[in-house]
Amino acid sequence: MIRSRRSNFCFALLSLLSVLLICATAAQAQTPQQTLNQYVADLQKNPNDYALREKIIKHVQTMKQKPAIPEEARRHYVMAKTLSDEAKKVEDFHDAITEFRAALIVAPWWAEANRDFGLTLEAAQRYDEAIAYIKLYMATDPGSDRTRAAQDEIYKIEAKKKLAGKASRESSPAVVSAPKQNTFEHLLRKIDGRRYATRERGRQVLLDVRGRTFVQGFIEDNGSYRELGRTEIRGREFTEPMYSTMPAGIARIVERYWSISESGESITLRWRWSGGEIEQLIYLWQR
């Protein structure tokens, strides 16, 4: 009888200890939101930990209840977009970059913010960082079409990086740059006064070269000429960032790339829409 009571007592004690252990383990286990909060806190100590940023994005994808974008992050993001849209030259993107970083240290899983930061870094000619953030955007799994456009954008950035490296080497003191400059000046003099033409959406579009300026226009149905805009010619090949006050969500051209053929027979214009789409026109010399 005494042994039976002792056995029952030991069994009850073991059961109680098991329950206490389970409760303690449960108390220590973090919820998905608590895990996210810990990851974000760790990221704030090391903002350049891109592996952790990707880990946060993957963690959020597993959460049944997706975290809301904090108001603080949204404030910095809207400011960043505004500053980026208003930038006129490379140096002007500094403040926009600062605001994007502030938004993405609070909500590093935010897909649109990672994408737009990548595009802003690209415009600021910070190509390696741009690729890193566009890859983070792709990690958010934005859909097959957007992922395809983002990957194509990375290829484009890689090409720009290569061109920038080439330009840097050519402008170094070890390289004699005068002959190249003379070659470009000679090309400008050669094509000055020429008219180039192409067709876009069924109408003839014209491009006149006037000194160091491209003048775009077209012939209206009544035969009159209508000018569309002017662009300063900054080289045989150059990129022209575009700026627009159009509301968010409406497609707009964010960048144009010009290229004059070495022979001067044609001029190519490529442009990228805010959604990532690329279009191209090739103007031919009208002899």
CA-CA distance, 126 to 100, in Å (whole number)? 14
Judged against a pLDDT cut of 50, whether residue 24 lies above it is answered with no
Q: Over range 109-130, report the average pLDDT.
A: 94
According to the model, what pLDDT value does residue 26 have? Answer: 44
pLDDT digits (tens, 9 = 90+) for 222-281: 878 889 889 999 888 888 877 655 555 566 667 888 999 888 999 998 888 777 778 888
Q: Over range 156-184, report the average pLDDT.
A: 72
Q: State the chain's mean pLDDT as an integer.
A: 84
Alpha carbon distances (Å) from 249 to 112, 271, 273: 11, 18, 12
For residues 27 and 249, the model is more confident at 249
Report pTM. 0.53
Q: Over range 60-81, report the average pLDDT.
A: 95
Tokens 């775009």 found at: 216
Instruction: Walk me through the domains of the chain, giving residue ranges and CATH numbers.
Output: 36-169 (1.25.40.10), 178-285 (2.40.128)
For residues 108 and 229, the model is more confident at 108
pLDDT digits (tens, 9 = 90+) for 87-104: 888 888 999 999 999 999
pLDDT digits (tens, 9 = 90+) for 186-239: 999 999 999 999 887 778 889 999 999 999 998 887 878 889 889 999 888 888
Which tokens hold the place of 114?
Answer: 């990672």
Compute the radius of gyration of the chain from its Cα atoms.
Answer: 29
According to the model, what pLDDT value does residue 27 have? Answer: 41
In percent, how much of the chain has pLDDT > 70?
80
Residues 6+ apart with CB under 8 A from 273: 251, 252, 253, 254, 279
